[in-house]
Amino acid sequence: MFDRRLIKNFDWGFAILIFLICSVGLVILYSALTAGQDAGTVHILFKKQVIWMGAGFLIIAITVMIDFKELDKLNLFIYTLCVGLLISVIVFGQLGGGSRRWLVIGFVRIQPSELMKIALVISLSSVYSTSVSQTGLNFTRLIKPAVLCMIPFVLIVNQPDLGTGLLLLLIAGSITLFVKVERKVFFTISGMGLAVAPLVWFSLKDYQKFRILTFLNPDRDPLGSGYHIIQSKIAIGSGMLTGKGFLKGTQNALSFLPEQHTDFIVSVLAEEWGLVGCTGLLILYFLLLLWGVNIAYNCRNMFGSILAFGITTMIFWQIFINIGMVMGLMPVVGVPLPLVSYGGSSVITNMVGFGILLNISMRKFSPN
């Protein structure tokens, strides 16, 4: 049943690249943890992350076993399951930082909004693989994808987690543009968006406006996110060309950056390893993304191509939003950096994604 050719076709290069980024991630995480926590906590958190990554590789191993084309058949089931989890978060969810995002099953805390990203990519790939055409999609063909998108979006934004909600839209939008929409459709939707935006804006309450403006421009909140950004910029800038050296960062003490081991981890890398280290990580990520695009190109199955592209897009947006935010180019949103930020949900989700990519890569020669 298990084809030997599959092992021969296993994409070792991609797997090694993932392993490399994980290792770099752990090194940076160690720095970030030591600066802000006492020795005992560092040990616990670091060990946890190593375990998560180990589990991640296990998940990769499991994911590559099942032919990705099964995902096409199961797409609606996976999607419904994840939406179900999102709804149960509303009912049973655990509060954390003022929003309800976590679901506790036994001793594991999961964040269904993370899993939803993968589920949505699979569902959209499935829908688009049958409807894609060189002339582009028309309105009627976009109705189903739009519905698939809006259900989880509304649920996630209400948690409230605006960042993840918007990330979902960005991923879905990118995939949709990739499979091409009719020019007419593109301009109509863009035009409608521009027309409706002011109406929505004026119907908002003052405090809601303030929140959105702060989201777009952290400087408006100099005591909150604005302060984090300025500290983050100081940390990054002070790294200069070669950095201050491993564990020699001074800026990342707890009182400056509250989430240095999660969302602001790049500032630790930049401070200790300088421009050289940052460029290294950027290159690794760029290779990762190109590899993903290449997998999409080499796959002979339309569903597989779109799926590979979709997963790559998901990784891309996370990297761009996270690094952009830390450097003050992007709004302050809680998007973790793939394989580097601390956090189980993020590691697992991304590992599932990489597993799917490896899966597609292995089976690129089987057309149907």
Partner 1 sequence: MSEFSKNPDKEWIKQRLIVASVCVLLVFVLLFLRLVYLQIIKGEEYRLLSEKNAVRLKSVKSSRGLIFDRNKTLLVDNRPSFNLKIVLEDAGDVKETVQKLAELIQLPFPELMQMIARAGKGAFYKPVTLQTDISREQLALVESHKFDLPGILIDIEPTRYYIYKKTAAHLLGYLGQVNSQELKTGKYPHVRTGDAIGRYGIEKSFEIYLQGKRGGRQIEVDANGRTIKILKTVEPVPGFDVNLTLDLELQQTAEKLFGNRDGAVVAIDPNNGDVLVMASNPSFDQNDFIGGISSKKWKALMSDPGKPMNNKAIQAEYPPASTYKIITSLAALEENHIDRYSTAYCPGFYKYGNRVYRCWKKHGHGEMNVINGLAQSCDVFFYQAGEKVGVDTLAQYALGCGLGKRTGIVLENERKGLIPTSIWKKKRYNEVWQGGETLSIAIGQSYNLVTPLQMAVFMAAVGNGGTLYRPRIVKTIEDNHGQVIQKIDPEITGGLPASKDTLDIIRSGLLKVVQGDRGTARSIRLKQVDIVGKTGTAQVFSMAKGEKIKTEKLRYGLRDHAWFICYAPAENPVIAVSVIIEHGEHGSSAAAPIAGALIDQYIRKMSSEETRWE
Interface with partner 1 (CB under 8 A): 38, 132-135, 178, 180, 219, 222-223, 226-227, 230-231, 233-241, 250-251, 253-256, 270-271, 274-275, 278-279, 282, 285-286, 289-290, 293, 296-297, 302, 305, 309, 316, 320, 323-324, 327, 329
CA 19 – CA 148 distance, rounded (Å): 33
Angle subtended at Cα 25 by Cα 286 and Cα 298, rounded to the nearest 5 degrees = 35
| Upper half-sphere CA count for residue 44 (Cβ side, 13 Å) | 5
User: CB of 59 within 8 A of CB of 356?
Assistant: no
Contacts of 60 (CB under 8 A, 6+ apart): 15, 18, 351, 354, 355, 358
* CB closer to partner 1 out of 91 and 95: 95
* CB closer to partner 1 out of 345 and 350: 350
DSSP states along 243-284? -S-TT---S--TTT-TTTTTTTHHHHHHHHHHHHHHHHHHHH
CA 210 – CA 219 distance, rounded (Å): 12
**Closest separation between CB of residue 213 and partner 1, Å?**
14
* CB closer to partner 1 out of 7 and 240: 240
Which alpha helices (DSSP H) does 132-264 contain, by range?
139-157, 162-179, 183-203, 206-216, 225-238
* CB closer to partner 1 out of 21 and 85: 21
**Closest separation between CB of residue 28 and partner 1, Å?**
15
CA 246 – CA 252 distance, rounded (Å): 13
* CB closer to partner 1 out of 86 and 364: 364
* CB closer to partner 1 out of 157 and 293: 293
Q: Which helix (H) or strand (E) holds 109?
A: strand 108-110
**Closest separation between CB of residue 56 and partner 1, Å?**
23
* CB closer to partner 1 out of 55 and 174: 174
**Closest separation between CB of residue 234 and partner 1, Å?**
5
Q: Which phi and psi angles does 310 have, rounded to 5°?
A: -60, -45
> What's the token pair of residue 271?
């401070």
**Closest separation between CB of residue 341 and partner 1, Å?**
16
**Closest separation between CB of residue 271 and partner 1, Å?**
8
**Closest separation between CB of residue 255 and partner 1, Å?**
5
> What's the token pair of residue 200?
């929505």
* CB closer to partner 1 out of 87 and 327: 327
**Closest separation between CB of residue 342 and partner 1, Å?**
18
